[in-house]
Amino acid sequence: MGSDLPLTKLRSNGSVNTTKSSSITAIQNALPPGASSYSGWRLAIYDFWVLGVVNTFAWKCPTSKYLIPFFRDNVSATTHLDIGVGTGYFLEHGGIPTTTHVVLCDISISALKTATDRVPPPVQVGPPLVADILQPLPTDDKFASVSMFYLLHCLPGPVQRKVVIFDHIKHNMTPDGVLAGATVLGPRSGWVDSWFGALLRGFVVRDGIMDNLDDNAESITAALQKNFEEVESEIVGTVLLFKAKYPRYT
């Protein structure tokens, strides 16, 4: 991950990103805790632990009941960008149309490799983007749909620092583009954790896996409304599901 070799092909039938190896090395060496946790053994148990046990019993938002249908309902049949790919679980189980051209974006090469292999054929996967989402993306491509599931709560806070991603990502969306995502809200949002949720939150916040103490629905939806014409949101347990359409380019 920290070598000077260029990013190799992530899928046998895909092309490679042309990002310079020095840029990739710099990004990987500066991985924040929330991103560096998506590697090695953590990736191996993520689906069972986070998307299974934690979502159901700590955050009270079962993946199969809420997150997968929400992902599926907001994926374009033409072009789609997935930001913060995790293990690729949503890409594998989210019912992506076979006509969709998918591009994956993450700051972690390990996560990109794992997620790319889980995109079901014949869905076509384009060159991945190794990028810091807090900065404008290194591409001018525009996508009909964008997903960012369980990304915001991993980004370094405070929340006002995180929501600048909406200022950036709208420029990589088509005029009728749709952005959909989900994030775990912080305890200061008014949610009272169960004993399991409180115990878990203390651990992941202490270790920097999540940085969401002041993440709240009001700040996130306000930033979305600033950048998109139409915004919808719903809170399930302690998870905010959000959807935004028609980017405001100016």
User: pLDDT truncated to tens, each residue of the chain (250 aa)?
Assistant: 232 223 333 333 333 344 444 444 444 444 454 444 555 566 678 899 999 999 999 999 999 999 999 999 999 999 999 999 999 999 999 999 999 999 999 998 988 999 999 999 999 999 999 999 999 999 999 999 999 999 999 999 999 999 999 999 999 999 999 999 999 999 877 778 989 999 999 999 998 889 999 999 999 999 999 999 999 999 999 999 999 999 999 8
Which phi and psi angles does 102 have, rounded to 5°? -110, 140
**The predicted structure's pLDDT at residue 250:** 84
pLDDT at 188: 76
Q: What are phi and psi of 23, to 5 degrees?
A: -65, -40
Q: Which amino acid is at 227?
A: N
Predicted pLDDT of residue 110: 87
**Ramachandran sector of residue 229 (left: φ over 0; alpha: ψ -120 to 50; beta: rest):** alpha
| Residues ≥6 apart with Cβ < 8 Å to 151 | 83, 84, 133, 181, 183
The answer to whether the peptide bond before residue 97 is cis (omega within 30 degrees of 0) is no
Contact 167, 135 (CB under 8 A): no
- Three-class secondary structure of residue 93 per DSSP: helix
In a domain, 3, yes or no: no
Query: Is residue 27, in this structure, part of any structural domain at all?
Result: no
Domain membership of residue 202 as a residue range: 32-247
Predicted pLDDT of residue 182: 98
The reply to whether 10 falls in a domain is no
Looking at residue 41, its pLDDT comes to: 61
Q: Examine residue 20 and state whether it is found in any structural domain, yes or no.
A: no
Domain-located, residue 102: yes
d(CA 90, CA 79): 16
| pLDDT at site 39 | 53
Integer Cα distance of 215 and 93 in angstroms? 28
> Where are the alpha helices (H) located in the chain, listed in sequence order?
21-29, 33-36, 40-48, 55-57, 68-72, 89-93, 109-116, 159-162, 164-169, 195-206, 217-227
In a domain, 133, yes or no: yes
Number of domains in the chain: 1
In a domain, 216, yes or no: yes
CA-to-CA distance for 146 and 144, rounded, in angstroms? 7
**Beta-carbon-side half-sphere exposure of residue 131 (alpha carbons within 13 Å):** 23
How far does CA 56 lie from the centroid of its chain? 19
What's the CATH number where 85 sits? 3.40.50.150
Burial status of residue 147 (CB atoms within 10 A of its CB: 0-12, 13-18, 19 or more): buried
Domain assignment present for 174: yes
